[in-house]
Structure 1
Amino acid sequence: MTKFTPNINVKYTIRDQLSKFKNNKKFNTYLHAVNDIINDKETTKQEKINGLNHIIKHLSLSIENQLIEDLLSNFQEFPEPTNDLLNFPTTLRPKEISFKKQIKISIHSTPIITFPWRRERLLKNLQLIGELANNPFKPNENHCYNIYVFPLNLVLIENGHHSTATALLENNTEITIDHYIDLSILYDSIYFNGTYFKNTHYHAKISPKYKEFGIIFEIGRLLNENNLNIIPQDIK
């Protein structure tokens, strides 16, 4: 079984983040919401996890919607799938590790980003896949190189981008993952300040294309810090 070890050397607490980045309204809005959920004395640990997962999924759907809108408006299309969410320096980016077996996860309860990249292919899949077309999405074992990102409970699609984007709209099936990446080891050296990812040691900075991913990254830090890690049962 795969074991994820919580990072106990967390540099930035919720209070640190709220005070340090108080001028970033959107970032602060989500951190306040996460703080309220974590400190709610009337809910159980599992209920807190459920609420935080909903916030992460909301943010992942925001990224997904931007990706699809960009693709539909770009008639030149993208030359290839572009997963630039994890554009950390090679020396810092954790390695992708294979699970011992392929794992199925629910598409309706897991935050997923599909990275569609060909407009024509997306439009064709939107027409051909779905209950109204009498052709529900069927996970293809050849489309299984998908990455689970801990502690974000986020799945990044690496194969089957367009069919999975359509399945995400149908919201009633499963997909397969077979690799994972553990970002918690970055929390000692990287943080998101609402605008940039910054390196605490070298003062380098990276501007993410989608600020929502930076917010998800910091929510993952707080999940880890508070032992509220969202890990599907099959991969604990």
Structure 2
Amino acid sequence: MISSNNILVVIPARAGSKGIPGKNIKLLGDKPLIAHSIEIAKAIVPMEDICVSTDGIDIKQVAEQFGISVPFIRPSSLASDTAGTYEVLLHALNYFESKGKKYNIVVLLQPTSPFRKLTHVKEALTIYEEEIDMVVSVKETKSNPYYNLFEEKGGFLEKSKKGDFSGRQEIPKVYEYNGAIYIINANALKEKPIGKFTKIKKYVMDELSSMDLDEMLDWRISEFLLKEGIVTL
């Protein structure tokens, strides 16, 4: 069983959002978007082990309204469109270690996955082992490189991945990261970027729980799903 004392939960929330302006503090249901991730974080670790990494004063204030101390404002070098999640996580991890707090695990909860539940995170945590690099949440993708994904070669389309299958049912399942949950080995994170991890285990989520809010259309769809009672927060 993983001890909550070993876990740092990082909730990244950059102020500049072009797809959905002000999305992190925009109300979804009865709470700002970021609050849904904060509530989950508070249910799995002590509040002092939750890091809202932001460059926005308004986001900091909202986080504090929900009981989270925000000890730093993200430096400008990590606040641009090109700033990567890897650098943001390392910055948070290094900050807390400079204060004498060492973590074995970093849990990344992106605010843009509001339909991720506490049960999802707890179940994903049971999969984690210290010998691996990461447990990541996924959904089964509708597009499959054996079936309906193509690359252009020599001016003609070819299937991205070739295989000899008599029917679609025989084609291997393919998964895509849904952005909801990342449970990361802190030592592995210090050694290499997430994109270079090789020891990765999946935690499968359904389509609705996997919904990621990136554009206004996503937001409108999420509001409709809530209004119709198709999903809950």
- Name the TM-score, length of structure 2 as normaliser: 0.30
Q: Kindly name which structure, 1 or 2, has the bigger radius of gyration based on alpha carbons.
A: 2
Task: Report which structure shows greater RCO (CA 8 Å, sep ≥6).
Answer: 1
> Is the strand fraction higher in 1 or 2?
2
- Name the TM-score, length of structure 1 as normaliser: 0.29
